[in-house]
Amino acid sequence: MTEYVVLALLKQTFWVSIILTTPILLIGMIIGVIISIIQTATSIQEQSLTVVPKLIITVLAIMGMSSWMISYMITFATQLLGSLFEYARM
């Protein structure tokens, strides 16, 4: 296996991880901004007010997108393991 193949596999793995984590991180960030705006408007500076809703929404997002995430990971793993013999010959 040449270094170019290894770099291509690392690049592909990196992009899969970005694709899988970006929606959840964006949801958490958007909820955090909305709650911060509400806190600023109402002058409530309670720290638990930001953590609890973000935690709940993030868990719900993971639960809602878990089937898509698992199928994406299975497709990637199947593709990677399917070409394992080609990588071994290089």
Q: What is the pLDDT of residue 72?
A: 96
The 3-state DSSP class for residue 83 equals coil
pLDDT for position 13: 94
> Region 60-69: what's the mean pLDDT?
95
Residue 90 has pLDDT above 70, yes or no: no
pLDDT of residue 58: 92
Residue 49 confidence (pLDDT): 81
Confidence grade of residue 71 (pLDDT, cut at 50, 70, 90): very high
Kindly tell me if the per-residue pLDDT of 70 is higher than 90: yes
> 14-46 pLDDT, tens per residue?
999 999 999 999 999 999 999 989 988 988 888
Q: Where on the phi/psi map is residue 24: left (φ > 0), alpha (ψ -120 to 50), or beta?
A: alpha
With contact defined as beta carbons under 8 Å apart, do 32 and 54 qualify?
A: yes
